[in-house]
Structure 1
């Protein structure tokens, strides 16, 4: 069973549930999960870094053990919560690892984290320029209709298992049981719907005022395995990820032989690139993000 203890941390009138593990008070890594995901989605990576750094994984407000929120949070709200959480939990500088939608949250937060942010790893994060976002309003509505059905049916555990078979194959049995109890529930699915709506609202804002480019060492990872029938869209997304990396003062792009959940399919690569950022941060001369 998962035996990591955690605690509720107050943030901006809400709370987030935080789990800390690993060793090394002078080196910290914070993990920001993708949409519909929480702290447990980083379980494959954490043991690989346990002897390297202080590790912080958490559930955004409204998700899993963080408890429900009454209002729909924006990406800016989530970024503010991330900042507040790190101020409460992380004593100094840290490297931030973000997946998918979590990259939007991380990039907004980076604007205010300043020199505390010593490195940024973006795992299959789509920049707002990606063509998939050109019709995201319509896409979000289709996804929401599908999730509305899932939300109702997920009251029945066998159906929840059926809907999440792709996740079950990628994660350990213990981790998946926790996800099934916390994330793949009516409440968890409801929060996922809110997060997808938050992305739809954020994209026009990101396009009108893109987040400031992080100045710290940044690695942008693109997955090479596309879903069947979406090869052309996938290639376009990878190209925009590469272009985004090229705009960064200290950025690097890398293709990864993986599907979307890199942390589950390639956990050693995520751990290795995180170590590279921790090492790079030691060499910096006080110039953060």
Structure 2
């Protein structure tokens, strides 16, 4: 469907009076929720989608901003999720969700954030240099993903945790040159937004909010992981109705522990 001028692919499943809207992490789309959705189909109407440039949504070479991504999420919620709902987001998608939550606040029954990086975390202290380094790496990887063995090599962290059929779809839709190009745009959007988040953070959610934190650090993040978890806890504890919960998992908690994620979503629906 058309959302804010973009053609976005939306996938709906489940039945019931309750509603849940999912926002994926960087470089991925609707399929990142494949392991969770079947556990909730008897409990609620579920809406997952591909952001512009990913999955089955239209491709674009336009420059991105976090404000634009949040505006897309708001417009999508207004178009296809009438009434109140629970918002679920992963990783970079948590920044998008937090920006959107201020506008969506009257309709939010709860928010579930899965392993976000708060803007206060030390890992963002050198975000400009990190963004340049990541962009150079992805620029090298981008053309190589035309070759499927190299694409599988580049996506090994995803292949290890997601179901085989889900990974096959990700490989075909997201780990391709145009998908990597869009990941680069999203990373640049994050780098541009972090200084503003630090000086003027989005209004915190006032609804019940759960933050799930991965206990196992990402590769290369072993040194900064304790500080990341400390900032995650501080952010959640500062909310009017927030809770921090550490999970024995890597970054993709929804893939490693889908039942736990589904349980927390049901909890938020029951509370809201």
> Same-fold call, TM > 0.5?
yes
Q: Is 1:204 the counterpart of 2:216 in the alignment?
A: no
Q: CA deviation at 1:228?
A: 5.5
1:91 aligned residue: 82
The runs of 5 or more residues in structure 2 that have no matched partner are none
Q: Is the 8 A contact 2:214 2:249 kept in 1?
A: yes
Alignment match of 2:40 (pick from 49, 55, 61): 49
2:113 aligned residue: 122
Q: Is 1:144 the counterpart of 2:148 in the alignment?
A: no
Q: CA deviation at 1:155?
A: 0.5
1:250 aligned residue: 241
Label 1:188 to 1:247 Cα distance change in 2 as closer, same or farther (>3 A).
same
Runs of 4+ deviating beyond 4 Å = none
Q: Is 1:172 the counterpart of 2:157 in the alignment?
A: no
Q: Secondary structure at the match of 2:227?
A: helix
Q: Secondary structure at the match of 2:126?
A: helix
Alignment match of 1:188 (pick from 161, 166, 179): 179
Alignment match of 2:4 (pick from 6, 12, 19): 12
Q: CA deviation at 1:16?
A: 1.3
Q: CA deviation at 1:243?
A: 0.2
1:5 aligned residue: none
Q: CA deviation at 1:61?
A: 1.3
Q: How does 1:73-112 map to 2 (within 5 A)?
A: 73-112=64-103
Q: Is the 8 A contact 2:218 2:251 kept in 1?
A: no
Label 1:280 to 1:71 Cα distance change in 2 as closer, same or farther (>3 A).
same
Alpha-carbon distance between aligned partners in 2 of 1:274 and 1:37, rounded to the nearest angstrom: 20
Q: Secondary structure at the match of 1:65?
A: coil
* TM-score, scaled to structure 1: 0.92
1:23 aligned residue: 15
Cα displacement string for residues 245-277 of structure 1 (whole angstroms, at most 9, x for unaligned residues): 111000000001000001101111110101100
1:235 aligned residue: 226
Q: Secondary structure at the match of 1:278?
A: helix
2:254 aligned residue: 263
Alpha-carbon distance between aligned partners in 2 of 1:150 and 1:231, rounded to the nearest angstrom: 24
Cα displacement string for residues 182-223 of structure 1 (whole angstroms, at most 9, x for unaligned residues): 000000000000000000001011112100011000001111
Q: CA deviation at 1:166?
A: 2.1
Cα displacement string for residues 61-105 of structure 1 (whole angstroms, at most 9, x for unaligned residues): 121211112311211100000010111111211100000000000
Alpha-carbon distance between aligned partners in 2 of 1:227 and 1:159, rounded to the nearest angstrom: 21
What is the Cα-based RMSD across aligned positions, in Å?
A: 1.0
Q: Secondary structure at the match of 2:8?
A: strand
Alpha-carbon distance between aligned partners in 1 of 2:213 and 2:34, rounded to the nearest angstrom: 21
Greater displacement, 33-42 / 61-70: 61-70
Q: Is the 8 A contact 2:20 2:47 kept in 1?
A: yes
Q: CA deviation at 1:229?
A: 5.4
